Amino acid sequence: MAITKAVIPVAGLGTRFLPATKAMPKEMLPVVDKPAIQYVVEEAVGAGLRDVLMITGRNKNALENHFDRATEIESTLAAKGDTEKLRRVMYSTDLADVHYVRQGDPKGLGHAVLRGRMHVGNEPFAVLLGDDIIDSRDVLLSRMLEVAEERGASVIALLEVEPSQIHLYGAAAVEATDDGDVVRVTGLVEKPSAEDAPSNLAIIGRYVLQPEVFDVLEHTEPGKGGEIQLTDALQELAAESGGPGVYGVVFRGRRYDTGDRLDYLKSIVQLAVDREDLGPDFRAWLRKYASTLANKPKAGETLDEPGVGA
């Protein structure tokens, strides 16, 4: 069965980004000139998934408005004949067929995904985390959809990280398969210490799931951090004897975690330097600015930045 639905959980509290996320979801933070969520919806649509269900929480208005008409802005731009800005504002309105359901209490990613059950029904579907951006020049989701269809199994995205970073992710124990970029998952642990991690393969925010995951999530108990963890449900599917199991696609491309403040800053710089419109000027400025950092004064002293600025 062709996979057509994407579930995007955006109900997390985004506490790492306070106070920016006090009244606005972190998925609406701009990455260059688009909110993070727009990159994620563009990725889903690019992989053929136009039916998008967002699992929202409080402060959902900004998200809904972003994927809706903005008639006042549109008519002002139309009256001015500013077709380029008009195209930019209307693009996200027509991008996908977006639906919304509220999570209620943010009880964890597994709980958020379970809220998609009514909409998804008995079909395989994709899950994309709204604060995780995959560079559009690198292939991940379409490869995962292919593997899920070939094997009839759930598929997760894995990225090799430094051992010191694995405690921030779910980690996978894996076996090789005949496909170089595909592994069979034999076990999963949510946010293990470096010593307890079965590998340095971290679960990142893309999943293609079989609908059986909903039955498992119905009885998944709160795990790490007191949250209902999707990783724990997938561990159960991976361990099920006679089931299709869980596979991983090992991603070697560029991924930007916009939910973490430092990674967010890096994401903006990395994406901006490659932009055709802003890139040339930004690169020139950045080179100059970086050269001043070699002489960066110690904390408390004023940074003299000759030649750097607007």
Binding residues vs ligand UTP (CB under 6 A): 9-17, 55, 103, 106-109, 111-112, 129-131, 259
CB nearer ligand UTP, residue 106 or residue 198: 106
Shortest Å distance, C-beta 90 to ligand UTP: 26
Find the distance separating the first CA and the last CA of the chain, reported in whole Å: 53
Distance, in Å, from the CA atom of 258 to the CA atom of 41, rounded to the nearest integer, reads 15
Q: For ligand UTP, give the closer residue by CB, 50 or 107.
A: 107
Q: For ligand UTP, which is the closer residue by CB, 25 or 248?
A: 25
Nearer to ligand UTP (CB atom), residue 16 or residue 85: 16
Closest approach of ligand UTP to the CB of residue 140, in Å = 17
Residue nearest ligand UTP, CB atom distance: 12
| Rounded-to-integer distance, Cα 10 and Cα 112, Å | 9
Taking the complex as a whole, the smallest distance from the CB of residue 118 to ligand UTP amounts, in Å, to 16
Distance in Å, CB of 26 to ligand UTP, minimum:
6
Shortest Cβ distance from residue 17 to ligand UTP (Å)? Answer: 6
- Least Å distance, CB 167 to ligand UTP, is 13
Given the complex with ligand UTP, which of 35 and 77 has the nearer CB atom?
35
Cβ proximity of 167 and 193 under 8 Å:
yes
Of 133 and 144, the one with the shorter C-beta distance to ligand UTP is: 133
